[in-house]
A and B are shown apart, each in its own frame.
Chain A
Amino acid sequence: MNISIARIQAIFMKDYKEFSRNYAVSVMIFLPLILAFAYNKMGTNDIDAYFLPINLVFAVVTAYVQCCLIAEEKEKNTLRSLMLSPASLGDILIGKSLFVFIVTIVIVSLSIFLVGYEPANLFILAIALLLSSVFYIALGTLCGLFAKTIMEASIIVLPVMFIFSFGPFALTFASVYPVLDIAKWLPSAQLILLADALEGNYSSMDYIVPILTIIAWSAVAWLATGLIYKKRMVD
């Protein structure tokens, strides 16, 4: 695949300018920050509560914003213009994802700080968070590619946001409904399991399994995104 740093940078800068002037979407970044601040003030100090604003960042910032950015490109026919330019599939997908990736890192970091979470092993958790960002960006891109308008994107992304953000809560009912135990394989649930394990005496499998699970989700999501994008390139 032909990748050009200059083209990626051009798409990144364009997305930054568009996002900073699109208040309807950019305001969403404050939602997890407000929640993180409120949780801190409520004196929350368990992993599940810490990860509520963090998983919310992935849902309403990473997936939602990415979905809206892609859907808007489709709605206004700008994605078509980008596809007709010399920018390759890699240039467009990386360029469009880079901005949301950076925003996610900043907002996740701020949320961790605001909620007062001090991870026992920041390095391993950071790897898992970065990989989760990659997954949610793919998820947002995929939803955006299916949507024809921003309005449609906002609706398509809702169940996705709900399943992946609040999916871990389903585990609470797993003892009554064993089928819900499947929710533990969601990337958001794996993230919580990993963070939980890092707080105690953990073995290497305790972090390798969640990380591999998140990688697997990311690989499948990006593969699907690449295939759908290529389909959308043909009229």
Chain B
Amino acid sequence: MMKTVLITGGAGFLGSHLSRHLLHKGFKVVSVDDFSHGDRNNVTGLRDFPQFSFHEGDVLDREFLINVSEGADILVHFASYKIPREGNALKAVEVNTKGTETVLEVARERKIRMLFGSTDDVYGKNPELPFSEESALVIGSSKSVRWSDAISKMYSEQLCFAYQDAYEVPINILRFSIIYGPWQRGDWWGGPQGVFIEKALKKEPIPIHGDGLQVRNFTYISDAVEGVLKVIDKEEVRGEVLNIGSFEHVRILDLAYQIWHLVGNSEKPDIEFIDYPDLCQDYEDVRVRDLDLTKARCLLDYAPKMGMEEGLKRTIDWFRSCSKR
């Protein structure tokens, strides 16, 4: 009897890819999304699978989640807001903290596992690299909205462990680096790749925040999905925090150049540097973010496979095919 996985944020980038992989492996998938940021197109193709069901609803709606989780064996909680600079930060904090609480309540009531999608942003400004799961979480002033997202995730992580302690809800925390690939969003919500590719295809100037010398760890979507699948498969890792990332750490400026050339543009790209003060008040960027994947390798045999160039090519191909439609 194959297991049933409920995914919140199921119409999002990661949620919809995970759904597809699970369905191909024979799992039943219950996908939940309120389409605040998820895309209807992301679930359209999944509806062909008989073991797939979709429910439109809010992750803060406990009764709704209880109803749709009937028969679920595991809850994967990906629904969240990020980058409050683009909108209502208070709403983001509320959705992130209360969403996690609601999902944990459901896991408690149903007595099932819960996987929480966190972020490497919780390591914040920690200068000691790479970040292992034991690294300190270093964040800046509470006045800066830039940290609201990270603190909402840190609070959620604490809440996961608190539920595990108090109610024996088996939990896992997955800290993802920036994920990219086909079906990603073309705006900043989806990370720099989408924005850069869109601009490069149109031969428009590429916008870069700050000096572009920030370094980030990027994970191709199939590697991120592989990490989640391994955690789902391996119940023994419950109670663990796991970094899910890649070995690719790249300067943002280099990423812009690489994308510009992979698209086939011959000349040099125009870079439009955007000062942080223009972006939002008190913005603080993290210079270098990189993940130590030792724990995921040891416990899960997790090994990201996709190289940056190949991953970008596939992503560019997908963006091209979209623009033709």
Partners in one complex: no
A contact set with B: CB distance below 8 Å? none
B contact set with A: CB distance below 8 Å? none
